[in-house]
Every structure is written in C-alpha cells, then in structure tokens.
Amino acid sequence: MDWRRSPLFVFFLLGAAPVMLVPCIAAYMDGDHDTARPFFYGTILTVFFALSLGLALMNRTPRSTARSHLLALMGTYILLPIWLAVPLAILVPTLTPVVAYFEMVSALTTTGATVFDRPGRLPDAVHIYRGLVGWAGGFLILVAAVGIMAPLNIGGFEIRSVVLGARPGDGRIRVGSAEATDRILRAVGVVAPIYGGLTALLGALLLVAGEAPLDAFMGAMAVIATSGITATGAATGAGSIPAEMAMALFLLIAATALIYDPYRRREFGIWRSDPELRVLVALVIGLPTILFLRHWVGALELDQTVGGFYIAMAALWGAIFTTISFVTTFGQQSVAWDTAQAWSGLPTPGLLLMGLAMLGGGVATTAGGVKLLRVYALYKHGTRELRRLTLPHSIGGQGQAARRIRTEGAYIAWLFLMLFFVALAALLLLLTLTGLAFDQALPLATAALSNTGPGYELFAAQPRRYLDLGPAVHLILSFAMILGRLETLAFVALLNPEFWRR
C-alpha cells in the first residue's frame, strides 16, 4: 500500500489534529479540564476518521489529478470548517451551528471576521484554537499555491506565466507530470520551516516589545497568516507602537512571496525589480502621506497645532501601519489611529480602506484581494496607452517581459478584475435580499471577498456586530470568504467543460 495515493483531503483533515491538540494541552496546563476535554476527543476522532478515510480511498485513482486537487481544496474550505466547529460549539453553547461554521470558515480562510466581540469572556484555549486555525489556514493556502494553483495556472500564476514567456492558457507545470502528493510534500518542506520560523521570530520580538505571552503568540500567528485573529480583538495586546513596528515589518514580508521562493531569496537584485514589491512600497509611501496630510489639514482647521509634534508623528505612524494592515488584508487599525482622528476631527475614510483591501497582497501569499501583480499589469497597460495617445507611433520598450505584461498580462488581469466585481455585485444582491441596506451590505461583502474581516468596523460608518447578523447572512458571507480565498478563476475553471473532459 502506498499512503501517498490517499486523497489530498485526507492530509488536510489529518492536519486538523495538531490544531486541536495544542489548545487541549494549553487548557490542561491551566487546569481547565472541561475546556481541554472537547479538544482532546476532537484530536482522537480526527486522527481516526482521517486514517479510516485514507484507507478506504487509498486505491482510488482519479481520472484527472488537476480536477481532483482543485475539488479537494474547495472541499477542504467547505467541509473542514464543519468538523472544526464541533469543539467550538461544545465549549460555547450559545453559538448556533451556522454561527460556529461561520467562525471557522472565517479563521480557515484567514479572513478574521469573528462573532466574539467580547473576547474576555472566553477561555484562552478557545482563542488559541481560533488563532491556530487561522495560522493553519495561511499555511494551507501557501502550500496549495505552490502545489495546486501554480500547475493549474490560477491564483495569480496566470500573470506570472505570461511574464515568464508562456501563453496565457499554459501553466508552468502540467498537473500529473509528477506524483501529485510528492509535489505537495515538497511544498510543505519548503514552506514549513520559513513559515514557522517567521512566526517564532515575530513572537519573540513581540515579547521583547512588552506583549503578554498569549498576545505575542496569537499576534505572531495573526500577522504571518494575515488573519487578524487576536485574543483581545486589537492589533496588539498592549497597544504599543514598538510591537506594531515589528508587526508592520513582518506584514510586508507576508504580503510578498519573495522569502518563500528559493531562487528569489538567493538573488537579492531581483527584489529591487520585483513588480509586487514596487507597488507595495509605492502604496506604503504614498497613501500614508495622503492620510497624514488629510489629518494635518483637519487639525489646522480645528486649530489643534499646539504641542502637536508628537501627535503628528503618532498620526503619521497610524497612517503607515493602517495602510500596511489593510493592503495586506490584515485588517487591524493602529493604536495611533484614534489619536489621529481625535487630532484632526475627521472620520475614517472607509472607501479608501476598502480599496486598499481589494488590492490585496502578492501572488502565492496569505493575503487576499485582487493581488498586486494584477494591479501592476493594469498600471503598465494604462501608462502605455496614455503614452500612445500623445505619441501614436511610439514603440514600447523595457524588454520582452514588460511587453508581455502590458498585453497578455493586462488582458488576463482585466478579466479577473471584472470577475471580482461581478462576484461583489452578486454578493451585494444576495445580502440586500436578506434585508440589509446597501450601505451595510457593501462593507460586509468587501470584507468577506477580500478576506479582511476585522476591517469591516472601519469600512462601515455604523458597523453591526457579526453576531447580530442572521443565519442567511452568515452563510452568504461564508461562501464569499471561500470564494475570495480560492478566487473566482478557480470556480470558473470548475465550470469549464474542457476542464472536466481532461
């Protein structure tokens, strides 16, 4: 028997066992046996069902490895939260099954939207569980990006393949050309040490910055997975600017795939020309400057410039961290953001932050959104078209890769952007049919589709608690979070008849 022939879903289900075991140990060490018991039983049952399912389906050979892997990934995001929600529903009896499912979908997709708006009422083990599910969800999407999405040419890799010289419909790797499970395991071997090492390093830095152990542990997992899931509901436990500086640095690392790519790690010169990093740096420099000037003008109008140097610097940092947080779909605001608002007397620019969240991070990262590489392709195409308006007979230079990204790359990016907005419009229609007003539905749909759950409180002028939303809204938002995590191209691929005939 070859255990590598087991379905991919079996490995994902087996990965839920250590996620349940860690909070079990934490609760046991605290002497809270009532909290540890559901996690302990969940760990045993998870291993039992995973092994049983693997043995039952070990000799099954799928007709199409590509279709099998994509369906397994989609099934993981749809079905695994049902299993993960069981310990949560047992420990928090006031949760309905739909609400518990919503909470786990939010964590697994690294969205971070939560119904626990008063975290202090829950045991620490429950918060650890939520954070671990979000952290594991970030690891899952990184492995899936390398082992599943890259061969299928989706998830932003369709743009990269154009830059590398392939045709738009061709992937760099044919699914089935190598043993599928071996490819996934190789991806785990590459990603796991870096992913775990970054988490441990950030956790240590947060401890040095004065964070409590639980806050540092959960903050590190939330940043590396860009889930925004914390025990206190804030970006940092103690609300310190040094801790936010460490988090901002690691958010920038998490929003690009440079550190996970062995070739680009070795070639430092590539970092300077990486289009995603260049767009990210431009956003981090440009938008905080605009936000700071906005607060500065507001402060001048209110004549609050006396002793304002410290407040001005705090406002600048608040703008920088909040920009980084939302463009990486982390979704938490800076501790200095309220100070900046009090200084200027201006409300939160919700539409600007929604736009940042829609942009998202890099390809093959835990960040959601449209992806920076697609934004770069559309930007290059736009600048070239503007140049041709003034110089119609000009010839675009900058090499063959730049010409490809301005043509085929921009075309594919535009198609995805239209699919993204069609999905957003469909979600708005469904949410308004449940009775929500448009100004309530838009922030909810944007937060779910861009996987920026905590940002909903800043998107909306008068945000509602996730717990107060009805079951229909919770299910619609759960579907939106899965759609945003897998991207619309994956669903379109499943609807393509050619995909099923392979």
Q: Which two tokens stand for residue 212?
A: 């409590």
Among 242, 202, 206, which residue's Cα sits nearest to residue 224? 202
Count of structural domains, the chain: 1
Task: Place 40 in a pLDDT band, splitting at 50, 70 and 90.
Answer: very high
d(CA 164, CA 414): 19
Q: Are the C-beta atoms of 433 and 415 separated by less than 8 Å?
A: no
Residue 229 backbone dihedrals phi, psi, to 5 degrees: -90, 115
The larger pLDDT score, comparing residue 3 to residue 256, is at 256
**Domain span including residue 171:** 13-262
Assess if residue 355 is contained within a domain.
Answer: no
Whether residue 87 has pLDDT greater than 80? yes
Q: What is the pLDDT of residues 379-388, one digit of tens each?
A: 887 887 777 7
Assess if residue 327 is contained within a domain.
Answer: no
Between the two ends of the chain, the Cα-to-Cα distance in Å is 27
d(CA 256, CA 275): 10
**Cβ neighbour number for residue 414 with a 10 Å cutoff:** 14
Assess if residue 414 is contained within a domain.
Answer: no
Assess if residue 346 is contained within a domain.
Answer: no
**Cβ neighbour number for residue 2 with a 10 Å cutoff:** 9
Confidence (pLDDT) at 400: 54
The helix (H) or strand (E) run that includes residue 354 is: helix 350-359
For residue 160, CA distances in Å to 55, 204, 267, 430 come to: 38, 35, 18, 34
In the block, which residue shows the tokens 């953001």?
337
d(CA 66, CA 169): 15
pTM for the whole structure: 0.90
For residue 23, CA distances in Å to 46, 97, 124, 269, 435 come to: 15, 21, 8, 43, 38
For 5, which DSSP code? G
Task: Place 296 in a pLDDT band, splitting at 50, 70 and 90.
Answer: confident
For 147, which DSSP code? I
Q: Which two tokens stand for residue 122?
A: 């829950």
Assess if residue 143 is contained within a domain.
Answer: yes
Q: Are the C-beta atoms of 251 and 331 separated by less than 8 Å?
A: no
Q: Radius of gyration of the chain from Cα atoms?
A: 23
Assess if residue 51 is contained within a domain.
Answer: yes
Task: Place 177 in a pLDDT band, splitting at 50, 70 and 90.
Answer: very low
Assess if residue 466 is contained within a domain.
Answer: no
Q: Which two tokens stand for residue 17?
A: 């066992």
Assess if residue 428 is contained within a domain.
Answer: no
> Average pLDDT for residues 54-62, to the nearest whole number?
76
Q: What is the pLDDT of residues 178-207, one digit of tens each?
A: 456 777 888 888 899 999 999 999 999 999
What percent of the residues of the chain are helix, what percent strand, and what percent coil, each to the nearest 5?
75, 0, 25
In the block, which residue shows the tokens 């609807």?
495
